[in-house]
């Protein structure tokens, strides 16, 4: 009797479904035409796959032919990256700016605003100190 590799079969089926989702039309979208301009969406696809299983024997299932329990899963994320713009004889790439993805990105994006606030605070403190010095000089 040939031993089946149930986990391999399970993962193969999962991968077949992922391949069906991740064809070229998913990454390079269907062209959109309007007024002599063609827009072609370009996306990024990322996905993860997990699977696991075990073989076990039960009172009704002999150890020579163990039962199998397992599962698999997949997750996909499709993000727009850019549009190719075809007009006349020229092609341009228009990137889509995604929102900050990480804390570092958010901090870098906020730095100019923070610098402005700190600079304003320091200027106000210096003005306040100058006014206090003028009052002290005037009082003498």
Rounded-to-5 percentages of helix, strand, coil across the chain: 40, 35, 25
pLDDT at 3 over 70: no
pLDDT at 135 over 80: no
Q: The tokens of 6 are what?
A: 């149930």
pLDDT at 1 over 50: no
Per DSSP, what are the bridge partners of residue 78?
45
The span from the CA of 57 to the CA of 96, in Å, is 54
Give the DSSP letter string of 54-97: EEE--SSS-TTS-EEEEEEEEEEEEEEEEEEEEETTEEEEEE--
Pick 131 or 40 by higher pLDDT: 40
Q: b vs e for 125-134, b when ≥16 Cβ sit within 10 Å of the residue's Cβ?
A: eeeeeeeeee
Asked if 45 contacts 36 with a C-beta cutoff of 8 angstroms, the reply is no
pLDDT digits (tens, 9 = 90+) for 21-58: 777 677 888 899 988 899 999 988 888 888 888 887 77
3 state DSSP class of 99: coil
pLDDT digits (tens, 9 = 90+) for 78-129: 888 899 999 988 889 888 876 656 777 777 777 777 777 888 888 888 888 8
At residue 38, the pLDDT reads 93
**How open is the CA angle 7-77-104, to the nearest 5 degrees?**
120
The domain ranges of the chain are: 1-97, 99-140
Q: The tokens of 3 are what?
A: 């031993």
């Amino acid at each position: 009797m040939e031993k089946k590799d149930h986990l391999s079969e399970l993962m193969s089926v999962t991968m077949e479904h992922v391949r069906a989702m991740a064809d070229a039309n998913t990454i390079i979208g269907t062209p959109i035409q309007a007024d002599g301009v063609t827009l072609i969406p370009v996306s990024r696809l990322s996905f993860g796959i997990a699977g696991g299983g075990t073989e076990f024997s039960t009172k009704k299932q002999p150890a020579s032919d163990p039962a199998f329990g397992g599962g698999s899963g997949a997750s996909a994320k499709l993000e727009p990256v850019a549009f190719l713009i075809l007009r006349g004889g020229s092609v341009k790439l228009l990137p889509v700016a995604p929102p900050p993805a990480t804390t570092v990105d958010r901090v870098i994006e906020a730095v100019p605003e923070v610098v402005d606030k700190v600079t304003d605070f320091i200027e106000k403190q210096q003005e306040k100190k100058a006014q206090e010095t003028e009052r002290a000089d005037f009082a003498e």
